[in-house]
Chain A
Amino acid sequence: MSKKPTVKKPTVPAMFSKNPPSTTTTTTTNDKENLIEVKPKSDRLVPWVEKYRPKKVSDVAYQDEVVAVLTKCLAGSDFPNLLFYGPPGTGKTSTILAAAHELFGPQLFRDRVMELNSSDERGINVIREKVKKFAQFSVIATRSDGAYCPSFKLIILDECDSMTKAAQAALRRTMERESKTTRFCLICNYISRIIDPITSRCAKFRFKPLKDSIIVQRLQTICDTENVQHEPEAITELVKCTEGDMRKAVTFLQSVARFRANTVITAIDVQEITGIIPENVIENLYQVCHSSSYEKLATTVKNVLLEGYAAHQLLLQLHDYILGQMALGNEQKGIIFEKAAIVDGCLLDGADEYLQLMDFLCTVMHQLCRS
């Protein structure tokens, strides 16, 4: 998507702004989608995540509240400032991009929409100058061809949780004062990182992790269009390890499909590529805890880490495994999981994996031997 350079210099020669018409066969079928238009070389080179990104608001799966509100807005009612939050891969960016495209159409999109994400400098100065200036322009309510389009501009601030508090504070008045000419859409993963005055100025929408059945359905559609042969279990396995993250599911599906081109995809192929730690490794660790020998535990943990498994993933899977152990009482599980939470926090802070895992497993060992 080479929107960026063209935004800055609208007068680039045509050969730079897009690929020359060149020898390749007709540019892809999606003629008006400039999301995809820029990569006409061959369909195969487009990652499926981009190719199957929803192009209309109505295509967005599962996020009913947002879709309902946005559909109304598209039909002509008032457009509020928006704040989207939720885990990765639930369609936040896709939704607002699709909405913007429907609102403004391909021609006006570049003039009316300003997309800033954390790959752009977004300190307080940028908010004060760039965003404020952009927000102050007023626009007319017709397109060049005379059709109606809303008389405001859209500023999308993606990945807001990485904006500083000061920058967020600088947005406050701008958001209110320019409400005649500009709408904001803020996107973040954690709403707790957004200051209250901002949240109270926006209509908040939580994006839920997608339901398994919906991911299955989408993957099925993609498989059908891309002619990917697969066992039904493969899809189930794929969905199981993505935890409601559509992007992850599609990325994995494409990788597996490339790896097993022209053959039937099985559940084992999926396991291989998703990097889930095999069940027996987890089981083994748990059994070693039973033995109450510190040395044995230390060597096992060292070996597991040398195999390259990430401590964070190990911790997650150990948690699930221990949760299912009937031999442990509620109190013991409570103590273990409290430790798990602490260790998880430490790992995120960048603490050493070996020490943290040993700490956690020592607690498990202690609890196991007590019973």
Chain B
Amino acid sequence: MSLWCDKYRPKTFDELDYQLQQAELLQTIVASGDFPHFLIFGPSGSGKKTRITCLLHALYGDGIQSLRIENHEYETPSKKKIEITTIGSNFHIQVNPSDVGIYDRVVIQELIKTIAQTRQINSTEQRAFKVIVIVEVDKLTRDAQHGLRRTMEKYVGSCRLVLCCNSTSRVIPAIRSRCLAIRVAAPTVDEISGILKKVATIEGIQLPVDLANRIGEKSQRNLRRALLMLQSCATQKVPLTKDQQIVEPDWEIYLRDTARMIGEQQTPQRILEARERLYELIAHCIPAEVIFKGLLDELLANCDDLLKSQITQTAAEYEHRLRQGSKEIFHLEAFIAKYMCIYKQHMQSMAAGLDDCFD
């Protein structure tokens, strides 16, 4: 049994469910036989990869689906060996250079340049160029991004790059100016519930409208997540009922509890307890920025408007520091301590104000 989000992933432009206008645009560009470098960006679960596969399919046909995995090994100037895995077919190759951390520059310089330099042998039957898909471009270091610049221009005859990222903010302007940027917006709640219904019908399950809408809202407009939620509901019990509980990921509940704990009591003791819980979350590979956002959301729920902007500001500040630092726990803990401090001060000044009134 495969996951529904993979099973029902559209393979051609005709099967797409939303953003049809954009799909049409991509189709016309591809139909002309050539295209510029693409920079595809959008939030996760909005269908960036799906669009890339559709694009490749429209270009090269079914051959794109016979994938193989290759391992490459390179040596950095400091004689350190790095390994990277690529997935590709005869026509394209997909690579995630940020897998190798700060050595991504070497991958860009070696791997991508060698691919770009080789030409297709039989260019009458195929396209004259290959496609290199680079994912998580926003995680690339500056050096690696600079390394892409001339490669993109020089070898434009033999390869095209499709860059995929969550946001263009972290992509240097020089690369942005070389690409055609395509924005993939997240599907709306209605679109999600429509797709859920479609999937449910194919699977032969009755899906109540209410439940579909609720999943749509819970998924935070992330289609992959919505489909996973639907599938877990379906494995829980069939037939689905209107008021069925939607299973939430454990870590979300855990994070919410942590936030509640912090909100209840502001003592050094609590910080220690919260620290343990945060360690637990980090150990389960929950990204720090997700923890930050989750904490902020929950903590602000029982705060005055006055405090809200102040706390948001501290959250932004500490999250920024976290990016520059290396150990996540320090910054998360610092944020919690700061929150407690602000909150308590506010409470005390309120209490003092009240006392004044009584005097």
Contacts and interface: CB of A to CB of B under 8 A. Distances in A.
Q: For chain A, what secondary structure do more than half of its interface residues adopt (helix, strand, loop), or is it mixed?
A: helix
Contact of B142 (A4, A41, A162, A354): A162
Contacts of B308: 294, 362
B24 to A, nearest CB: 9
Interface string A39-65: 101001111011000000000000000
Contacts of A123: 77
Interface string B144-163: 00111111011111100000
B128 A118 contact: no
B41 interface: yes
B77 A125 contact: yes
Interface in A3-41: 3-5, 38-39, 41
Contacts of A356: 316, 320
B174 interface: yes
B315 interface: yes
B185 A307 contact: yes
B113 A354 contact: no
A327 B314 CA distance: 28
B169 A353 contact: yes
B181 interface: yes
B183 A308 contact: yes
Contact of B185 (A306, A311, A362): A306
Interface residues of B, number: 71
A352 B289 contact: yes
B142 A44 contact: no
Given A125-B77, A310-B167, A359-B313, A259 B29 contact: yes
Contacts of A45: 33-34, 128, 157
A358 B316 CA distance: 8
B175 to A, nearest CB: 9
A352 B293 CA distance: 9
Interface string A158-189: 11011000000000000000000000000001
B168 A4 contact: no
A251 B149 contact: no
B147 A119 contact: yes
A251 B180 contact: yes
Interface string A98-138: 00000000000000000001111101010000000000000
B169 A251 contact: no
A189 B174 contact: yes
Contacts of B156: 47, 50
A288 to B, nearest CB: 14
A370 interface: no
Interface in B24-43: 25, 28-29, 32-36, 41-43
Nearest to B157: A39
A346 B316 contact: yes
A74 interface: no
B146 A159 contact: yes
Contact of A259 (B28, B123, B173, B179): B28
A305 interface: yes
Contact of B309 (A5, A159, A365): A365
B296 interface: yes
A294 B319 contact: no
Contact of B169 (A189, A275, A310): A310
A1 B155 contact: yes
A309 interface: yes
Contact of B42 (A39, A308, A346, A362): A308
A359 B169 contact: no
B113 A119 contact: yes
Interface in A240-271: 245, 247-248, 251-252, 254-255, 258-259, 261
Interface in B182-209: 183-186
B221 to A, nearest CB: 5
- Looking at B46, B174, B180, the one whose CB has the most chain A CB atoms below 10 A away is B180
A162 B146 contact: yes
Contacts of B154: 1, 3-4, 119
B25 A310 contact: no
B323 interface: yes
A355 interface: yes
A324 interface: no
Contact of A258 (B32, B42, B142, B220): B32
B235 to A, nearest CB: 28
A310 B320 contact: no
Contacts of B155: 1-2
Nearest to B78: A123
A311 B309 contact: no
A16 to B, nearest CB: 9
A247 B178 CA distance: 7
Contacts of B28: 258-259, 261
Contacts of B173: 87-88
Nearest to A272: B25
B324 interface: yes
A293 B309 CA distance: 10
Nearest to A116: B150
A147 interface: no
B117 interface: yes
B185 A121 contact: no
B186 A346 contact: no
23 contacts: A2-B117, A3-B154, A44-B33, A46-B157, A119-B109, A119-B147, A119-B154, A245-B177, A247-B177, A248-B176, A255-B36, A259-B25, A308-B46, A310-B41, A312-B167, A312-B169, A349-B320, A351-B316, A353-B167, A358-B316, A359-B312, A362-B308, A362-B309
Given A259-B25, A356-B316, 13 more contacts: A49-B153, A119-B113, A119-B149, A119-B154, A161-B146, A248-B177, A258-B34, A306-B185, A306-B221, A311-B167, A350-B170, A358-B316, A363-B313
- 8 pairs of A and B residues whose beta carbons are closest in the complex: A362-B309, A359-B316, A312-B169, A117-B150, A308-B42, A162-B146, A118-B146, A351-B320
